[in-house]
Structure 1
Amino acid sequence: MANMPFPAFDTQASFTWHPTRRTHLLHAGVAVFLLAISPVSANVPLTAPALLVTALSLACLPLASRLPAAGAAASLAIAWFTASSPYDLGTVALLLPWGLCIMLLGRGLRRDMIYVLAFATALIHFSHASAWSQGLLQTLIIGVPCAVIGEVVRHHRLQANVAEQERRRKLDQQRRLVVSELHDTVVRDLSHAVMIAEQARLADPHNTRLNQELGAIITPVRTAVEQLRRSLKAMSAAEGDDSLLLLAASPPPPLTDTIRTAREALTHRDAHLTTQGTDLLDNPCIGPGVRQQLVRIIAELINNAAKYTPPSSTATLTIEADDNTLECMCTNPIDPGQATSTATSSQLGLIQAQQRIESLGGSLHISRTTNRWTAIFTIPLQPISPMPTD
């Protein structure tokens, strides 16, 4: 597995790690613990000024956890006072700003402000040291490792944040695919069932019993279609994991079946559907996954054209392809006075078709005039590379 590059100075982090109340309390507890052991571990003199300065310096730890700028400034001021004092006030106040650098770097805060704090702390060490070499040695031994530790923590938190964003993106993509699958299967089949029932009722208007039975079926199914369309719209607009449905995507029906069904529906209105170039989908440059997506896209365009093609007119589907591009055009006449019903169209199918096309690296262009509707999409074709031979 390839090693992930270490972005020591990547662009300003796109994340900020937000501590919880428990984290603030933990820093307060650490400060109290360090104050208790400082006379032994840090050689803090048992004098009132030294203990007071050490306590004030350690208080900057929980303060910086809650208010980073205020805590860093206070810690720097106390460190400068300790370095300038003629009395021995211990080393805790001089070292604490380095610890704050680790904490602030790890939280993803601005690097320029943090390294200003580190630079100022190094200057204090130089001013406190008896020789410049001693100050340089203290900075190299203490300051540089602290900066490296802070960058390591920052890097790992940034990578965790990026991984979480990628996980959410994939979940959102899955959710949108589920919405598309539901629209392509359930909604389309229910709409087709309503259309067939309506045609059967119109074919025999004098059969009262049949019309009553068909009406009892059509009304609840149409209501269910409207409710399902609204639900799919809400799912398509929602964000997060709550709206994700873990459903298996079924393969689309063959394009020939879709064309035959559309022609049968158009025949009842004395309308027609002409197709050209559908055999180009068998192009070896089109992989199985891309072909399945194309079938869904073209089926959506055909069904949309079948809905709105007026009587005694013709809808046309044309597919053309060369070595690099596949282009499909679906056009049909429309009745200028026909209103769009929410029971027959929510525009969600075209939105999902556009998303599928864009996922394939293509583009969809839709134009509508007073008497004609046209949809044209193009996608790039990637030739299948031959298998390497030994």
Structure 2
Amino acid sequence: MKNLKNFFLLLIAVLLSTGIYSQKKDALRFESGQIDAMLKTAKNQNKHLLVEIINGTQVADDEYFNTIVFAHEKVSRIIPENYILLKVNLKTDKNIKRYAKYNVHKYPTFLFLDGDDNIMYKLAGKVEPNIFLDASNFGINPDNNMHLWKRMIDENPDAESGILFNYAKGLYYGGDNYELYKEKYFKNVGANYAHDMNGIEAVLLFTEDMNDPRFTIFMEDYSAIGPGNLNPRFVNKKINEIISISIILSVSANKKIVLDDTISSTCRTFHIDDPMVVMSIVKMKYYKQIEKNQDNYFRALTEYLMTSNGLLYNYELHSYIKELTNDCNNQEFLMMAITQLNELISIDNKIDYQPTMIDISIKLHNFSEANHALEVLKSFNIEAKKYSEAELNAMAEKINKAHLEYKEAQPKREVKKENNVIHKAKK
């Protein structure tokens, strides 16, 4: 067995040397500075300015954007080629009034500006890589951007539906009020919105209540019209989100509502193919936000991971597995989580998965697997250079310490087990 593991590690090292398993470190480098000076620099270099606005320290958001969004192959290429990068912290920036014009309400907010300080596009909060990529392209397109769409709408209140939709969508992703332009769009396309090229996406983006007539009509037709030109994953996730949030609001307003019955009847009403997915999503929200029952939340989360095949992106799946690893001590749930992690590693092995494998293996007292994950991590790190020698040593120390504590506690576990047997025999 040991020889097999050595062979496996040697194979990984060879793959690393050929680039097959190489891990990119493409996080974008944002500079500090004054926005007006940076705008001038961007204009002189015939580039645009990408401004990230934060409000204090946001470690989780930084990790998400660095490892998921900025590391995206196309994003990491398009941004440096076309933008000067500026990061502004409103907690410490002395020129805070300068940023009031951008109407920032959520953090982080990304402003895609041209050299004349026009907002070409804007994103607020955590977004998926494809949304960031679209915004990056709009930000450098002189014929297709937020600034131009607004001017066209101001000049012609009856602007075509595509312009109204794109502008409302831009406001939506920028964290701004989109209601006026949403209604302008639906008024423009009329009752036939389901057959407009942007109609399905408009209903899914701009609907917050499953009882909205537009949503109910869309759901009646969905089995026939399908997702159109949209990604089925996006469509299904938005449908689940609208339904689950609506049910949670109903349950929180009326405590007499029976959760399982409400979910089942709603799924029948909307002809949901897989009600178990909706059931697990609603229960995750319910037990986390309303009843605040951690065990039931983790039970719903593991059910979601087991039933949401094809619905989650790999980084979302890994994020949920990390949450279980960090916050859950239930061995059954952890076993389900490590099964999911092994499946993820088998199809999309990344350096970031190995520290999670180490942590979850320690919790399951599988120290040989934890050490194996550390060796794989070291092999990946030869080229990636993501972890320092001190960090790798700290991981090894964590494994050794946990293993020692587990062995030292073994006699106590044996005594407890023996006492339980005696207690059961007396009964």
Q: Shorter-chain TM-score category?
A: under 0.3
Q: Which has the higher helix share?
A: 2
Normalised TM-score (structure 2): 0.23
Q: Which has the larger radius of gyration?
A: 1
Normalised TM-score (structure 1): 0.25
